[in-house]
Amino acid sequence: MGAGARGAGVLILGAILAGGRASRFGSDKAAALVDGRALIDHVRDALTGRVDAIVLVGRDGGIADRPLPGLGPLGGIAGALHHGAAHGFSDVLTVPCDTPRLPADLLEALLRRSPAYCLDTPVIGIWPTALARDLEARLASGDRDRSVRGWAQAIGALPVLSRAPIANVNRPEDLLAL
């Protein structure tokens, strides 16, 4: 489903989450090369044509995590939701920068539902921007459960199973396996 195939008034922001510390990887994962191109470029290409705009989250020059840095992927999702709501988007499709081979069928399945998340990799999901304040309040409250899966279940998001395994680059050996 291309960006123009959705109903009127449905604008989807693609958000590439790239703010992790990469402690297991040892360097900036987003810039690591696969097939001569940075991981983040592979992810951007997978989103192009499926969303109405793409932003980077958690990197210099990108959208900041909310309500503050260091809250993990949910802080990045909160930042993307806030940005999306402020700019007229109805939903945000989030993907991490370290998943260079995103299955097209998974992305298309997510784009048909909101909220929904990938059962195997919950940070890959689509979230209504109307949830921005609720998520930010949850994070600001000190709730100890900062898992994306926990939040997704709390809001009643639909789990979507990917037919293909999702390669996630967390360690240098993961990159070599690609």
pLDDT at 164: 86
State the CATH number of the domain containing residue 121. Answer: 3.90.550.10
User: Residue 2 domain-assigned?
Assistant: no
Query: Cα(43)–Cα(93) distance, rounded to whole angstroms?
Result: 12
User: Residue 122 domain-assigned?
Assistant: yes
Count structural domains, the chain.
Answer: 1
Q: What is the pTM of this model?
A: 0.88
Residue 176 pLDDT class (50, 70, 90 cuts): low
Say if strands 116-118 and 158-160 run parallel, antiparallel, or are unpaired: parallel
Residue 109 pLDDT class (50, 70, 90 cuts): very high
User: Residue 1 domain-assigned?
Assistant: no
Burial (CB count within 10 angstroms: exposed 0-12, middle 13-18, buried 19+), residue 3: middle
User: Residue 98 domain-assigned?
Assistant: yes
- Whether residue 4 is predicted with pLDDT greater than 50 in this model: the reply is no
Query: Cα(120)–Cα(106) distance, rounded to whole angstroms?
Result: 11
Residue 24 pLDDT class (50, 70, 90 cuts): low
Range of the domain at 74: 10-177
User: Residue 20 domain-assigned?
Assistant: yes
